[in-house]
């Protein structure tokens, strides 16, 4: 059985400016090791940059996918039949739903550097999760992919 291509896939990558910050962390580490000589200075530059780049890369490696009849958001896999209609949130609404309106029982896959989001109610009565909050750069495409997956299920 061959799996078809995913109708929707997004990686929530870190912004480009974070890579500059990674280099600046390396420079700071180099300055810390400066009194110990040139070789420790270079080790601090390379090591600090590498470690901070790994952290930034792993934070931005989270994915949102619609595959078959399931929504996969990070490590969560939810059948689209257990989801209601998605609500596209603009920057102000997204901020409100991840702060003052947030429900502690909700599944929240958020990245503060992504201004838009999608809020999807969970309709499964056996699931205590009231909704999913997903940071996404393309909420319209994600809603369309969820509707297509629900129609084909």
pLDDT tens column, 66-85:
998 999 999 999 999 999 99
Which pLDDT belongs to residue 61?
Answer: 87
> For 15-68, what is each residue's pLDDT tens digit?
999 999 999 999 999 999 999 999 999 999 999 999 999 999 998 889 999 998
Residue 140 has pLDDT above 60, yes or no: yes
The mean pLDDT of 94-100, rounded to a whole number, is: 93
Q: Is the whole model's pTM more than 0.85, yes or no? A: no
Domain ranges of the chain: 10-59, 67-152
Q: Provide the pLDDT confidence category of residue 10 given band limits of 50, 70 and 90.
A: very high
> Percentage of the chain surpassing pLDDT 70?
95
Q: Give the lowest-confidence range in 3-7, 36-40, 114-118, 122-126.
A: 3-7
Burial of 3 from C-beta contacts in 10 A (0-12 / 13-18 / 19+): exposed
Q: Provide the pLDDT confidence category of residue 112 given band limits of 50, 70 and 90.
A: confident
Of residues 114, 115, 105, 120, the one with CA closest to residue 73: 120
Which pLDDT belongs to residue 11?
Answer: 93
**Strand locations in the chain, DSSP E?**
8-11, 63-67, 70-73, 76-79, 87-89, 107-109, 117-121, 131-135
The mean pLDDT of 134-150, rounded to a whole number, is: 93
Residue 153 has pLDDT above 70, yes or no: no
Q: Provide the pLDDT confidence category of residue 106 given band limits of 50, 70 and 90.
A: very high
Within 10 angstroms of residue 45's Cβ, the number of other Cβ atoms is: 19
């Amino acid at each position: 059985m061959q799996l078809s291509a995913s109708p929707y896939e997004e990686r929530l990558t870190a912004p480009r400016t974070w890579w500059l910050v990674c280099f600046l962390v390396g420079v700071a580490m180099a300055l810390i090791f400066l009194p110990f000589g040139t070789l420790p200075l270079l080790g601090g530059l390379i090591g600090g940059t590498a470690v901070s780049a790994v952290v930034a890369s792993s934070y931005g490696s989270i994915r949102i996918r619609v595959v078959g009849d399931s929504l996969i958001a990070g490590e969560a896999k939810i059948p689209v039949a257990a989801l209601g209609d998605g609500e596209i949130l603009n920057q102000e609404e997204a901020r409100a739903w991840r702060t003052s309106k947030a429900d502690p029982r909700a599944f929240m896959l958020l990245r503060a550097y992504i201004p838009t989001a999608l809020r999807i109610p969970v309709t499964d009565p056996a699931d205590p999760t009231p909704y999913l909050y997903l940071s996404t750069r393309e909420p319209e495409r994600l809603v369309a992919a969820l509707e297509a997956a629900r129609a084909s299920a």
